[in-house]
Amino acid sequence: MTPAPMPATDADIRQRFLFEDYDVRGEIISLRGTVAEVCARGGYPRPLRIQLGEFLAAAALLSANLKSAGTVTVQARGDGPVPLLMADCSDRHTLRAIARPRDPAAGCGDDLRALVGQGHLSVTVALPDRQRHQGIAPLEHPRLADCLSEYFSRSEQLPTRLWLAADGDAAAGLLLQALPAQRQDPAARARTWEHLVALADTLTPDEQLGLRHENLLRRLFHQERVRLFDPVPVGFACSCSAARIGGAIVTLGADALAELFTATPEIETQCQFCHQVYRFTPAQLSARALAGGAPLH
């Protein structure tokens, strides 16, 4: 019997790695099924599939450091043809993403700044106790990885750089982050950081999308001692539910709902992230209201 062929790349996994001799850590991610799932649900054209792939990879890389339950959201907002592009990743390694073009039928290029227009990039860490930490940077580069690297140069004390690649069907990302001083003196830390960043800058999109993680790290850092940790599976999932969406509708208030139901026997709504359609009758919403939402009557 012929064994099943090994995939050429790692599909939908994230892996942490450490440099044994330096104060630097890394994360590496590959996404394929997740990009396909997100893009099929949204019916996005290829330039937006590429952007969403990079946003998904970035959110997954940045969420790897979550110390507790929470979600990391990477979002670009502006006044251009695509005023909103965003992806989030939870501590449970679930990913989702959306793009909101003004005109879904219009063609678009692959320059992030041109797509989103005058605006900004934000990275938000939301924790379960409603705590939120948000950092903002202007959108000054055509590529998300460069915008994020700029964001970190402004907001983080520890140097952090990202390299992202996507082709519309798959996405990949690499993150390097300096760790608090442990093994090296300041001069050696600075030299090492520059050296590792220069090596990572030689990555091509084909290598990022085509090489398995261990081969990519060997190709970049073959003279260094790198410890690669076990892969963590990541994938698309949405946190929406009939209970959550019904609860949100009930908060519109009795008058607004009564008016809606004069025009239709059922309210139909769609989750903005996964495009799942939910339908509610007045009776279902009354039950929802009784279960804890706002009073319907």
Question: DSSP 3-state assignment of 233?
Answer: strand
- Give the length of the chain: 297
Least distance to Zn ion, CB of residue 44, Å: 16
Binding mask 145-174 for Zn ion (x = CB under 5 A): ------------------------------
- Choose the stretch contacting Zn ion; rule: CB under 5 A; options: 107-115, 125-133, 146-154, 265-273: 265-273
- Going 54 to 55 to 57 to 58, the CA torsion angle's sign is positive
Q: Does 273 bind Zn ion (CB under 5 A)?
A: yes
Minimum distance from residue 120 beta carbon to Zn ion (Å):
26
CB of 129 to Zn ion, least distance (A): 23
Tokens of 265: 């026997």
Interface residue with Zn ion among 164, 165, 271, 285 (CB under 5 A) is 271
Name the residue type at position 154. Answer: R
Of 228, 274, 287, 294, the residue at the interface with Zn ion (CB under 5 A) is 274
Minimum CB distance to Zn ion, residue 202 (Å): 39
- Site string (226-245) toward Zn ion, x via CB under 5 A: ------------x-x-----
Contact (CB, 8 A) for 36 and 169:
yes
Site string for Zn ion, 10-29 (x = CB under 5 A): --------------------
Q: How many CB atoms lie within 10 A of CB 90?
A: 19
With contacts defined by CB under 5 A, how many residues of the chain interact with Zn ion? 6
- Alpha helical stretches, state H, the chain: 33-42, 46-63, 112-116, 144-155, 186-200, 205-210, 213-221, 242-250, 254-263, 282-290
CB of 117 to Zn ion, least distance (A): 27
Q: Are 43 and 62 in contact (CB under 8 A)?
A: no
**Mask for 276-295, x = binds Zn ion (CB under 5 A):** x-------------------
Cβ-based nearer residue to Zn ion, 155 or 270: 270
Task: Report the residue number, 65 or 276, with the smaller CB distance to Zn ion.
Answer: 276
Chain Cα centroid distance, residue 3: 34
For residue 273, the 8-state DSSP code is T
Decide if 88 contacts 239 (C-beta within 8 A): no
Rounded least distance, CB 210 to Zn ion, Å? 32
Rounded CA separation 154/165 (Å): 23
Q: Which residues bind Zn ion (CB under 5 A)?
A: 238, 240, 271, 273-274, 276
